Amino acid sequence: MTNLDLARLQFATTSIYHFLFVPVTIGLAFLVALLETTWHRRRDEDYLRLTRFFGTLLVINIAVGVVTGLVQEFQFGMNWSTYSRFVGDVFGAPLAIEGLAAFFLESTFLGLWLFGWGRLSDRMHLATIWLVAAGAALSAAFIMAANSWMQHPVGYQLNGGRAELTSIWAVLTNPVFIWGYLHVLLASLVTGAVIMLAVSAWHLRRNSQVEAFHRTAVISLIVLLPSILFAMMVGSRLGVIETTYQPMKVGAMEAQWDTCQPCSFSVFQIGGGKNDETPTKIIAIPHLLSLLADDSWDGKVVGMNELNQQYQQRYGPGNYVPNVFVQYWSMRVMAYLAVFVFLFAAWGVWLVRRGTLARSKWFLLVAPWFVIVPFLMNTAGWMLTENGRQPWIVQGLQLTKDAVSPSVSVTMIAISLSVFAVLYGALAVLDWTLMIRYGRKQIDPVPELDEEGGLSEAAAMTY
């Protein structure tokens, strides 16, 4: 393996790993804020207990999310110094703004939320969890703005061998960013809601605190159904936008080597590995690819062979086709699982409407296991986005192979990759066991309230 392969492997694995935690934080922070708001409005103590119960799960997850985020921030300079030099003028700004505007907010108010029970007024305490949720959501916005610039660079000019920012406004209104960010936010709500639903279902099935956990089951389903529906709609809009700016990404998604019009969508294929151009496509749905890629019944999708020729004329000799097999399947894993989540959510909502959710044996049996699905879906989504951009690190501007740190050797990356593998593996086990342990706990009794119905300082969630 070359240092390029290892650096890519390290970035891919650490990013995928980091993004297991990010959507949980964003989604669960919002849901916990929702629970605390309900407590604030109704003064029903169950909601207070549930806020603290799911807040603990949120905090366990945030711990790993934050520390793995540090790695992401340092890694651009460590492994991709040529990239950093080339794009820092544009790419550094959203990262710095993320820290200043979002990350400070999230972490400072998380401390206030955890330790501020009984010390802050109820209203103020409620504000802190909303600020945590806002900080988490906002921090994803700037990261997505930076990533979207790599997918579709805007608001820059090339000068002296580097990209220089000419319009921050263009970077922040990049259509890839706006739709991509909405997509990520909705996927995060889906992830948070599925976790809350899974935990609630586990308890309901064991007749444990049925009244309280029925409430969170219902809340999570109410959030889940529209979130997954909108996530799919926004995602399909994003696909159309990508057809305009990254046609190769979309061509590879369908293993479409030759230009087609109208274009059909294959449900699955046999073969297609190593960019084999003749996979056997099974069950072709006419016109569906035209609709997905071009938003029209007879839309045209330019094939990869034609695109590759265009790119060779524009950028010089080379192969501009990404790994088609990964692209084809990551799209399908993401989309099929999304449909699966939608059906599952619809089932749950139907049970709620019938009033039989708490007694439904099958749903409660499936729901805890269902927790794995959004993680697979999110990961597939990122593989689709990032693999589809290859061989570019910044679409049309810099190739991934030209972006690595020249001073970092294969041995050094091998060391860091092994260290991260061991450390991240251990963290995954710890995080998972703690999440399960705390997810299965009884919810704590209400901390003692004073005469005015307020919490005492003993309610602080200290270390």
Site for other proteins in 49-68 (CB under 8 A): 52, 56, 59-60, 62-64, 66-68
Other C-beta atoms closer than 10 Å to the C-beta of 162 total 15
Which CB atom, from 162 or from 214, has the smaller least distance to other proteins?
162
Of 179, 170, 169, which Cα lies nearest the Cα of 144? 179
Binding-site size for other proteins (CB under 8 A) equals 80
Residue 449 touching other proteins (CB under 8 A) = no
Report the residue from 57, 90, 178, 212 that binds other proteins according to the rule CB under 8 A: 90
Residue 140 touching other proteins (CB under 8 A) = no
Q: Based on the number of CB atoms within 10 Å of its own CB, is 81 exposed (0-12), middle (13-18) or buried (19 or more)?
A: middle
Q: Based on the number of CB atoms within 10 Å of its own CB, is 134 exposed (0-12), middle (13-18) or buried (19 or more)?
A: middle
Residue 88 touching other proteins (CB under 8 A) = yes
Report the residue from 5, 111, 258, 271 that binds other proteins according to the rule CB under 8 A: 111
Which CB atom, from 159 or from 296, has the smaller least distance to other proteins?
159
Q: What are the backbone dihedrals phi and psi of residue 456, each rounded to the nearest 5 degrees, phi first?
A: -90, 170
Of 292, 276, 263, which Cα lies nearest the Cα of 324? 276
Residue 306 touching other proteins (CB under 8 A) = no
Report the residue from 430, 440, 442, 454 that binds other proteins according to the rule CB under 8 A: 430
Of 298, 299, 300, 317, which Cα lies nearest the Cα of 308? 317
Q: Based on the number of CB atoms within 10 Å of its own CB, is 210 exposed (0-12), middle (13-18) or buried (19 or more)?
A: middle
> Which residue stretch of 108-116, 237-245, 338-346, 370-378 sits at the interface with other proteins (rule: CB under 8 A)?
108-116
Minimum distance of other proteins from residue 196's CB (angstroms): 18
Report the residue from 24, 29, 57, 87 that binds other proteins according to the rule CB under 8 A: 87
The rounded distance, in Å, linking the Cα atoms of 383 and 389 is 10
Torsion, Cα 416 418 424 425, to 10 degrees, reads: 180
Minimum distance of other proteins from residue 86's CB (angstroms): 8
Residue 13 touching other proteins (CB under 8 A) = no
Instruction: Name the token pair of 204.
Output: 């309901």
Which CB atom, from 101 or from 222, has the smaller least distance to other proteins?
101
Which CB atom, from 346 or from 427, has the smaller least distance to other proteins?
427
Minimum distance of other proteins from residue 70's CB (angstroms): 6
Instruction: Name the token pair of 25.
Output: 């934080």
Minimum distance of other proteins from residue 3's CB (angstroms): 11
Distances 247 to 35, 250, 254, 428 between C-alpha atoms, Å: 43, 5, 11, 36
Residue 288 touching other proteins (CB under 8 A) = no
Instruction: Name the token pair of 202.
Output: 């586990």
Report the residue from 98, 122, 254, 294 that binds other proteins according to the rule CB under 8 A: 98
Residue 436 touching other proteins (CB under 8 A) = no
Residue 28 touching other proteins (CB under 8 A) = no
Residue 92 touching other proteins (CB under 8 A) = yes
Site for other proteins in 151-190 (CB under 8 A): 159, 162, 164-166, 168
